[in-house]
């Protein structure tokens, strides 16, 4: 199951600027006891978010709970390979989420500190940005 909106006003939209300015903001933990927080700017696709979520859920083994606190709102279009110029914009390829430093990506509850560190290390291997574990 990929993360994408059920309804949207326009089927295709402009990607917009990739965030590159640091805004100082503190985002507290809302649901769990441990969290994975981003340390760099970047773009996460729905496939990357889902792959990390599946790995976290598998490692917790029904003893804990996982919350995803980011969502993919922006569609990214792509035209097929070897298509001539013109003929309009391509179809939606993936849904993306723009991430700034300090954004909490996942929250985990029901794991010990040692297992949370292990889960965090393996989950960050699936993500293209730098992350850290927060308590």
Q: What does the pLDDT look like over 47-99, one tens digit per residue?
A: 999 999 999 999 998 888 999 999 998 999 999 999 999 999 999 999 999 99
In a domain, 20, yes or no: no
Does 41 map to a domain?
Answer: yes
Q: Does residue 2 register a pLDDT over 80?
A: no
Task: Report in angstroms the alpha-carbon separations of 120 from 46, 53, 67.
Answer: 19, 11, 14
Give residue 63's pLDDT: 86
pLDDT the model gives residue 97: 92
Distance between CA 35 and CA 29 in Å, rounded? 7
Domain holding 128: CATH number? 3.90.1170.10
Residue 72 lies in a domain: yes
pLDDT value at position 90? 92
Domain ranges, residue 48: 34-78+90-134
In-domain check, residue 6: no
Dihedral sign, Cα of residue 127, residue 103, residue 78, residue 75: positive
Distances in Å between the Cα of 68 and the Cα atoms of 89, 105, 108, 129 are: 31, 6, 9, 16
Domain count, the chain: 1
pLDDT score for 27: 76
> The whole model's pTM is what?
0.86
């Amino acid at each position: 199951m990929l993360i994408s909106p059920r309804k949207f006003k326009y089927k295709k939209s402009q990607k917009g600027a990739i965030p590159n300015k640091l805004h100082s903001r503190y985002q507290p933990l809302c649901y769990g006891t441990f969290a994975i927080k981003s340390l760099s700017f970047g773009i996460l696709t729905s496939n990357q978010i889902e792959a990390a979520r599946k790995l976290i859920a598998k490692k917790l083994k029904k003893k804990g709970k996982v919350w995803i606190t980011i969502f993919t709102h922006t569609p990214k279009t792509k035209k097929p390979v070897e298509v001539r110029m013109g003929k309009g914009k391509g179809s939606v390829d993936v849904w993306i989420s723009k991430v700034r430093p300090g954004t909490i990506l996942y929250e985990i509850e029901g794991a010990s500190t040692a297992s949370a560190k292990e889960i965090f290390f393996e989950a960050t291997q699936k993500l293209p940005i730098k992350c850290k574990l927060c308590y």
